[in-house]
Amino acid sequence: MNIVYIYIYICIGIVALWAVFNFYRSRKNKNRVICVVESNCTGCGRCLKRCTRGVLEMQKTETGTFAIAKNPNKCNACGDCLNKCKFNALKLEERTIQMFPSLVFLNY
């Protein structure tokens, strides 16, 4: 009987840690956005597959195919695409008014 209670407490602890980590990660990167370093991008598309918010998109040019941040307003700076890129073609930068002139930034 005691093993069942221990298992329940462990599960509750794991869920609580997961929730706290995700909350902290979203608050920490609130004012950051993903940017593509085109000179490093090979066009492999691994970042597109990992991004669940539809921020990145592939673009074909005369010089080749590379990713662009098509919808940066949707980016929550979770960093999942950063972890997938092997070529250091993505980086997180601070959001600025020049990037998004129609947005008003509020500090919470």
4 to 7, 16, 78, 100: CA distances (angstroms): 5, 18, 35, 52
Confidence at residue 26, expressed as pLDDT on a 0 to 100 scale: 58
Residue with the bigger pLDDT between 29 and 100: it is: 29
Question: In this structure, is residue 46 part of a structural domain?
Answer: yes
Confidence at residue 12, expressed as pLDDT on a 0 to 100 scale: 92
37 and 66 assigned to the same domain: yes
Structure tokens, 19: 């929730």
The owner of tokens 């662009």 is 68
**pLDDT, tens digit (0-9, with 9 covering 90-100), for 14-73:** 988 888 777 666 566 677 888 888 888 888 889 988 888 888 888 888 877 788 888 888
26 and 49 assigned to the same domain: no
91 and 63 assigned to the same domain: yes
The SS3 assignment for 80 reads helix
The owner of tokens 């997938």 is 84
Report yes or no on whether pTM surpasses 0.75. Answer: no
Query: How large is the average pLDDT for residues 88-105?
Result: 67
The owner of tokens 């040019």 is 61
Domain containing residue 55: 32-95
Return d(Cα 13, Cα 82) in angstroms, integer.
28
Q: Which backbone phi and psi does 28 adopt, to 5 degrees?
A: -65, -40
